[in-house]
Amino acid sequence: MKGIEYAKLSHRIYAMLIDLGLLILPVYLVSVAVWDVTYIISEKNFPEIYNEMQIAIANPPYFSPFLVEIYALQVIAAFMLVVLYFVMSEIRMNGQSIGKIIMNIKIISENSEKYGYKRAFIRNFLRVLDFPFGFILIAKTKKKQRPGDIFSKTVVVMDK
């Protein structure tokens, strides 16, 4: 891919921070909704979980093996919301999210194929690997790719 300027690590980090800043409230609301729905359902159907939730509410920070599954549901729901935000925004806004637009970067396919839902989902689902490996790979790989970029065959470039 000649003539393409790959996005710098700093641009990608700033774009991600902008997007995550926009997601703080929605992620919090999803987390609260998962807790509230579980609380309502468990009141009549699962009294042991309901009792543990009562204790957790009255005595933060409270940890119980009964609550681990609820915490896991909250994390999964929040992660799926983040993936959905990035997939939908990148598809609807031509390879960009709000953070990418502000930082003037965009996602394109390595081989000039369409950047569609499949690539977007693979790329964003693999965000789970970013913190141990993503920043190192962006800094060290020739095309400045993180794991999601490598597996979805995409690159992030400066949008001219």
**pLDDT digits 0-9 by tens, 27-49:** 999 999 999 999 999 998 999 88
Q: Report the C-alpha gap between 146 and 149 in whole angstroms.
A: 5
Cβ burial 22-42 (10 Å sphere, 16+ → b, else e) = ebeeebeebbeebbeebbeeb
Q: Report the C-alpha gap between 128 and 121 in whole angstroms.
A: 12
Long-range contacts of 148-152 (CB under 8 A, 24+ apart): 148/122, 148/123, 148/124, 149/107, 149/123, 151/122, 151/123, 151/126, 152/118, 152/119, 152/120, 152/122, 152/123, 152/126
More confident residue, 7 or 3: 7
* Residues of the chain by 3-state class (helix, strand, coil), percent to 5: 70, 5, 20
pLDDT at 79: 97
pLDDT at 142: 94
Per-residue pLDDT at 2 exceeds 80: no
> Out of 53-57, 62-66, 88-92, 133-137, which region has the weakest mean confidence (pLDDT)?
62-66
pLDDT at 110: 93
Contact 103, 14 (CB under 8 A): yes
State what percent of residues in the chain have pLDDT above 70. 99
Per-residue pLDDT at 113 exceeds 90: no
Longest dimension (CA), the chain: 63
144-155: per-residue pLDDT in tens? 999 999 999 999
Which of 85, 88, 71, 70 shows the shortest CA–CA distance to 26? 85
Q: Chain-wide mean pLDDT for the chain?
A: 93
Which of 95, 122, 92 shows the shortest CA–CA distance to 106? 95
Q: According to the per-residue pLDDT averaged within each range, which of 86-100, 107-121, 123-137 is highest? A: 86-100
pLDDT mean over 63-90: 93
pLDDT mean over 119-142: 92
